[in-house]
Structure 1
């Protein structure tokens, strides 16, 4: 029945949720992880190359995630392909000073973020917000529908180049506040006929 979990200054911890604990914490709604010097993964979805989705089905109630000053964090979620594990109730994600984090969402999680309302990423090593799907091909266009997202802040992400590296479309019908600073490599606006690869917003759709 645990709904809120705070993990702070656990410097030996490598991951928070091993695969066998995901089902135990299905009712968790709020997670905050701060100042864990060795943490590499939050949700470990693979063990020795084996995908746990073949035997586990988890529909997380997690609504809020705060990850702060985790210098060795490489994955919030390890990549996974099937739909047995979902985090579709996420509403608020805040990431601060995670220098080793290159991507935030695996493709399989990002395509179901229909409830996400606030996304704030500050001072991280992020290169892409969503990692490339192993099932993706350049011929198949993908749509990310951020139908509830009203607040987006990308703050001092010097390595960020795109939302997603493959062919894709995005919809942001509820967006009210957009704050971007110190993200010199990302193209914020483009149009459908432009040669700008993977702009964050297509002008015709804004």
Structure 2
């Protein structure tokens, strides 16, 4: 359920019911619970009750500020502090010790994370969790992620950072004193609707081992971020890269980083109004590289990039043997793909609209883009 702005409770009370009775609700086959953007939701049921969901594997409760999600029996002192301010109407949804050990996916806000930091939980409480969503409902004064919490999720594979108000960086430049198990299995990183985020920090030396394991990286609505990294870095296992609605993004990465994308399969850039090229040629060592091989690249989608001039300004030969179709839509200033030779033996053509199945082909990728540019110029400046 989502965007039910007037919903206060999920199960309504009936007239004449005994207020002293504890009601039992059992949902034996419920495996996925998703509640988002319900500002008035305060409880499952407005009387004393037990909610049992023995099959629950994924629990995403996001932007429901009045809903108390967890209580804990692991730390009696912490439990007393929590329960002292909770009426029956605000009875927490679940007990930590009953739900957490089975979860594979979970969304946590800062309040939940604080509870888990200070309560004395067993080390293996979240051993099955591999998908974590983090969000801050209030402004975060620290401006960073809660790295001192992540060691509690040693098998984390996907981290989704969503609407974290006040978050200015993902990975700080100074290496943190973190547990050895932090992010050792991380393969997917999603950064979504982070209005204050200024830099990601992927280029820092202590972060490089995590970058080299990433398989999927997606940015969406991060308006202050200007580039994925400020210097060269390695993405040797990255398969999918997507950047959308990052209005200050001028380019994604440098030439040296581009060379590392040997396993990249799909690249999608959408509605980034400042981007002029995808890979910036500013590395002195480019002269030492005559060619780059992207043996798995199958899809490139460039959409609504009004300032994009080219994909890459260098002269190295690009080998994209499996690249068949490219989408170039609403990129009126794109003159060419690259300054060098492009070898795309399976290339079929370019789509100029996401909704169209028609392909434009003029010999090769560079020539096709040049012809599309000339056609665009001819439309706007007829003789």
Q: TM-score scaled to structure 2, two decimals?
A: 0.44
**What is the CA-CA distance between 1:140 and the residue it aligns to?**
5.3
Say yes or no: does 1:75 pair with 2:227. yes
Contact 2:315–2:341 (8 Å) recurs in 1: no
- For 2:216 and 2:208, locate their aligned partners in 1 and report how far apart those are by CA, in whole Å: 21
1:37 aligned residue: 195
- For 1:200 and 1:43, locate their aligned partners in 2 and report how far apart those are by CA, in whole Å: 33
Say yes or no: does 1:160 pair with 2:311. no
2:241 to 93, 98, 101: 93
What's the CA shift string for 1:149-187, capped at 9, x where partnerless?
Answer: 101100011111122223222111111221111111222
What's the CA shift string for 1:83-115, capped at 9, x where partnerless?
Answer: xx5221000011110010011122222101110
| Local SS of the residue matching 2:262 | coil
| Local SS of the residue matching 1:98 | coil
Larger fraction in strand: 1
2:330 aligned residue: 182
| Local SS of the residue matching 2:257 | helix
Higher RCO, 1 or 2 (CA under 8 Å, sep at least 6)?
A: 1
What is the aligned length? 187
Which sits farther off after the overlay, 116-125 or 102-111? 102-111
Larger fraction in helix: 2
Task: Mark the structure with the bigger radius of gyration.
Answer: 2
Shift of the 98–179 alpha-carbon distance from structure 1 to 2, 3 Å rule, reads same
> Gaps spanning 5+ residues in structure 2: where?
1-154, 344-362, 367-383
Say yes or no: does 1:58 pair with 2:209. yes
2:186 aligned residue: 28
2:96 aligned residue: none
> Gaps spanning 5+ residues in structure 1: where?
47-51, 190-196
**What is the CA-CA distance between 1:43 and the residue it aligns to?**
2.6
1:132 to 269, 278, 281: 281
Contact 2:221–2:245 (8 Å) recurs in 1: yes
2:166 aligned residue: 12
Shift of the 34–57 alpha-carbon distance from structure 1 to 2, 3 Å rule, reads closer
- For 1:8 and 1:57, locate their aligned partners in 2 and report how far apart those are by CA, in whole Å: 23
- For 2:302 and 2:364, locate their aligned partners in 1 and report how far apart those are by CA, in whole Å: 22
Shift of the 119–8 alpha-carbon distance from structure 1 to 2, 3 Å rule, reads same
Q: TM-score scaled to structure 1, two decimals?
A: 0.78
